[in-house]
Amino acid sequence: MDERFREILINKAELVSSFPAWMLSRETVERIRAAAKPAIIEVAGRDSIAAALRAAAANGYDLFLPSIAYTGTEFGDWRTAFEKVTFLAERLGASGTGAEVLPPVALGAPELWRALCGRYLLALYRRFGFHTPCVGCHLYLHAIRIPLAKKTDCRVVVGGERESHNDRVKLNQIPRALDAYVDFLGRFGVVLALPLRHVTSGAEVQELVGRGRRDGEEHVECVLSRNYLEHGGGLSYDEKAIGRFLEEFAFPLLERAINAYLAGRRPDYEKLADDLWPKS
């Protein structure tokens, strides 16, 4: 991993719409704009790589820009994300699809994540009757790529979300949440493609990737993982509460933040959130 990436991932400074030239040069941006069918890849766990491989085979993308996003809650070895990019390039090179994989981009805005997912946990729970940071977090991880998509005229983002994982449901990937992620990016003219959405079997994902990986290994993890599960591992949730959180808080906060990025401004994240609070 390039030491410059290491420095970024240690400090996790805001990096959303303006990138250093060594990471995303003007020439690279022009190459993406000139490509016939480019796509941005969300590089995370194994599913994200399987999604990219399936998308390349099924949709004829000719250029992939890998993107590695951070929130501020991760721990683990970031080198695994860059190894996935190398692996994807090797697999696509051997597949005969002709798809090229560019060097990756790292991006994130931990202060935005905090305003959306962390700062108001108690207040959001009281307001909606149920809350977990995970739904807002996955929305953030998709939305944070919108300025990059606009900058490069790359209108497709490929993610690895799945509704079911061997009959195990993740709250941030229930159908209501996935529909919301797709809808939100669509408001900015960006397609969130989820090629694995209806793939329930981990074995099928394994077959797409084509090499041995145990689920849950070889990627950074989150300190808040599975916070929405009961002590014994059970899952219960209020879908209406999740919908209200998305429509009344997450969507408007992120929409204003993304519009600020696109206008070349740095948002005042806490003010954006405070403005959405019901006035007594």
What would the mean pLDDT of 23-29 be, rounded to a whole number? 97
Q: Is the confidence at residue 248, as pLDDT, over 50?
A: yes
Domain positions in the chain: 3-110+132-224
Count of helices and strands (H, E) across the chain: 13, 8
* pLDDT of the residue at 43: 96
Q: Which of the pair, 27 or 164, is modelled with greater confidence? A: 27
* pLDDT of the residue at 216: 42
Rounded alpha-carbon distances, angstroms, from residue 58 to 29, 52, 54, 69: 25, 10, 6, 25
Instruction: Report yes or no: 100 and 62 within 8 Å, Cβ to Cβ.
Output: yes
What would the mean pLDDT of 7-31 be, rounded to a whole number? 96
Q: Is the confidence at residue 213, as pLDDT, over 70?
A: no
Q: Which of the pair, 5 or 94, is modelled with greater confidence? A: 5
Mean pLDDT, the chain, whole residue set: 91
Instruction: Report yes or no: 148 and 67 within 8 Å, Cβ to Cβ.
Output: yes
pLDDT tens, position by position, 66-107? 999 999 999 999 999 999 999 999 998 887 777 899 999 999
Rounded alpha-carbon distances, angstroms, from residue 171 to 113, 273, 279: 18, 23, 30
What would the mean pLDDT of 190-195 be, rounded to a whole number? 97
pLDDT tens, position by position, 166-188? 878 888 899 999 999 999 999 99
DSSP state of 195: T
Q: Rounding to the nearest 10 degrees, give the CA dihedral for residues 167, 237, 175, 115.
A: -120
* 231 pLDDT tier (thresholds 50, 70, 90): confident
* pLDDT of the residue at 229: 78
What would the mean pLDDT of 113-125 be, rounded to a whole number? 93
Report which of 121, 81, 76 is spatially closest to residue 103, judged by C-alpha positions. Answer: 81
* pLDDT of the residue at 166: 82
DSSP readout, 120-145?
A: THHHHHHHHS---HHHHHHHHHHHTT
Superfamily of domain 3-110+132-224 in CATH is HUPs (3.40.50.620)
* pLDDT of the residue at 212: 56
C-alpha–C-alpha distance, residues 180 and 193, integer Å: 13
Lookup: tokens for 61:
């993308």
* pLDDT of the residue at 215: 40
C-alpha–C-alpha distance, residues 30 and 35, integer Å: 9
Instruction: Report yes or no: 118 and 133 within 8 Å, Cβ to Cβ.
Output: yes
Q: Is the confidence at residue 244, as pLDDT, over 70?
A: yes
Q: Is the confidence at residue 217, as pLDDT, over 60?
A: no
Instruction: Report yes or no: 159 and 196 within 8 Å, Cβ to Cβ.
Output: no
Q: Is the confidence at residue 226, as pLDDT, over 80?
A: yes
* pLDDT of the residue at 60: 86
Q: Is the confidence at residue 131, as pLDDT, over 90?
A: no
Q: Is the confidence at residue 273, as pLDDT, over 60?
A: yes
What pTM was estimated for this model as a whole? 0.94
Rounded alpha-carbon distances, angstroms, from residue 232 to 131, 235, 246: 19, 9, 27
